[in-house]
Amino acid sequence: MTRSGTNSLAAELLVHLDRASKVPLHRQLGTAIRDGVQSGRLPLGTSLPPTRALAADLGVSRGVVVEAYQQLVAEGYLASRSGGYTQVAAGAQTTPRPTPQAVRPATHAIDFGYGRADVSNFPRAAWLRSIRRVLTEIPSDRFGYLDGRGVPELHLALSDYLNRVRGTVATPDRMVICNGFAQGLALLLRVLSAGGARRIAVEDPSADDDTRPIAAELGLSVTGVPVGPDGIDVAVLDRTEADALVLTPSHQWPTGGVLAPDARAAVARWATRTGALVIEDDYDTEYRYDRAPIGALQGLAPEQVAYAGTASKTLAPGLRLGWLVLPAHLVGPVAEAKVAADRGSPVLDQLTFADFLARGEFDRHLRRMRPVYRRRRDALLGALAEFLPDFEPAGILAGLHLVTWLPSDLDEATVVETAARHGIGVAGLAQYHLGTPPRGGLIFGYATLGEQTIRRGVAQLATALGRRGTVSPPDAVAAT
């Protein structure tokens, strides 16, 4: 039991350490804080006591508190903020509190939210033609239960497409169709965990809403590998002893870099030497603008890499269509996990997508959308250069978002909050870091905004931040 009194920091967190227990103290402390977050008792944004103060209060060494905090940061429950304090992180509650605020989407007059395709451009007519053809042509027995891998027509159409466009080495027998990347990743981590995996490496920064929560649920520890302009630091990866690495080599999420060729080869060598699996998240590389295509890492090492693709950025996230190209030994176990999860993805959607691909409609859609997104990206870069010239863009060559590093006199959280108060939605990078962020930055999604709106949004942000005396008044900018 804690030695502290009822008004202590430990009592506020409801931490009671049992020194007679065999469970290490850092794990007891971690469990108490995790429970607090999951139950909503420690709501989003709550600042935790400084490690030194809490350690003194609990009568333990500071290392116990540091270790507990670090583990919870890795799991996504907590985040380290610049200034050295630790907060309950976004999205950490596994039991959502049913307040109206929790379910109401954020409303910003201009929202640079990232991770969205422009679904208003969904190719409805071509998709409808494919649905119609499939429904007209398939025999009734195709409506029965499927095996966990999905329909052969889609395996064939996708493997052709991926080998041609993404440089994979894919054969139909290595493919499993799943409900987006999210499910593909969950199935893989489940299979790896059942096979004895204990430690997963992720990029730092990286998405906080996929690997980290699943790993926490499965009891897998998560280690961050720092990302520079050319992708992850392979020397650090070498020291992780990870059983798997989740990687976005062709367009690092969120910073937008491309894994350098020698680093790609080094990752493949690391996986071969250690027997670890690389889970390649290839989420948006079809949209590339000023550079030659970067082939998938899977093409370099098909027995070490599980390639994961998704239609969420190219078509629409609501389709929930994703696919895995797997090393031979994982095909059976992942297909079984898929059956256990949901008995297979909907057959009509799979056959429709197969028809859409085989008839070249997917290529046509990408050809149509690429210049649309490119113009939006260019509008954003132009507006940043004009109104916020000391914001440094990065990761601009591909995808549907870019990052801007902030000048050193601006605090990221303050910028995000000021923007929100002025009706501009833009996210900060800090929440995606496992460790202390080296630098403040913003993520600008541009895929769903018209060019004039993008320009107006950046101009308004500059005005809100008081960065530019000569900003054109918003009214002088034509509405989109």
Residues making contact with ligand PLP (CB under 6 A): 115, 180-182, 207, 248, 253, 281, 283, 310, 312, 317, 322
Q: Which is nearer to ligand PLP, 253 or 391 (CB)?
A: 253
Strand boundaries in 37-150, DSSP class E: 78-80, 86-88, 110-111
Please give the Cα distance from 76 to 204 (Å, whole number). 12
Give the nearest distance from C-beta 283 to ligand PLP in angstroms. 4
CB of 145 to ligand PLP, least distance (A): 24
Residue nearest to ligand PLP (CB): 180
Q: Cβ closer to ligand PLP: 253 or 287? A: 253
Place of tokens 């390639």: 307
C-beta of 17 vs 177, nearer to ligand PLP:
177
Q: Return the number of the residue (105 or 469) whose C-beta is nearest ligand PLP.
A: 105
Q: Report the nearest approach of ligand PLP to the CB of residue 341 (Å).
A: 14
Contacts of 90 (CB under 8 A, 6+ apart): 44, 79, 208, 431
Here the tokens at position 461 are 């942000």
In whole angstroms, how close is the CB of 396 to ligand PLP at the nearest point? Answer: 17
Q: Which residues pair with 227 in a beta bridge?
A: 232
The H or E element that residue 269 is part of is: helix 261-274
Report residue 68 CA to chain centroid gap: 24
Least distance in angstroms from the C-beta of 395 to ligand PLP? 12
Q: Closest CB to ligand PLP among 322 and 457?
A: 322
Element holding 198 (H helix, E strand): none
For residues 123 and 322, which CB has a smaller minimum distance to ligand PLP in the complex? 322
- Buried (b) or exposed (e) across 451-477, using 16+ Cβ within 10 A? bebbbbbbbbbbbbbebbeebeeeeeb
The pair phi, psi for residue 175, each rounded to 5°, is: -105, 145
Tokens of 328: 């031979």
**Integer Cα distance of 377 and 406 in angstroms:** 18
Q: Which is nearer to ligand PLP, 13 or 279 (CB)?
A: 279
Residue spans of alpha helices (H) in 5-123? 9-13, 25-39, 51-58, 62-75, 100-103
Give the span between the Cα atoms of 140 and 96, in whole angstroms: 42
Kindly state the smallest distance separating residue 67's Cβ from ligand PLP, in Å: 28
CB closer to ligand PLP out of 127 and 253: 253
Give 130 or 312: the residue with its C-beta nearer to ligand PLP.
Answer: 312
Smallest distance from ligand PLP to CB 231, Å = 14
Nearer to ligand PLP, 166 or 456 (CB): 166
User: The tokens of 279 are what?
Assistant: 């889970």
- Look at the alpha carbons of 94, 99, 104, 105 in this order and tell me if their dihedral is positive or negative: negative
CA 195 to chain centroid, in Å, comes to: 25
CB of 319 to ligand PLP, least distance (A): 9
Least separation in angstroms between residue 181's CB and ligand PLP is 3
Residue (255 or 460) nearer to ligand PLP, CB: 255
In the complex, minimum distance from the CB of residue 452 to ligand PLP, in angstroms, rounded to a whole number: 26
Please, what is the minimum distance in Å from the beta carbon of residue 137 to ligand PLP?
Answer: 28
Q: Distances in Å between the alpha carbon of 25 and those of 28, 62, 335, 407?
A: 5, 11, 40, 41
Q: Are the C-beta atoms of residues 13 and 7 closer than 8 Å to each other?
A: no
CB 281 within 8 A of CB 181: yes
Where do the H-state alpha helices sit in 40-77?
51-58, 62-75
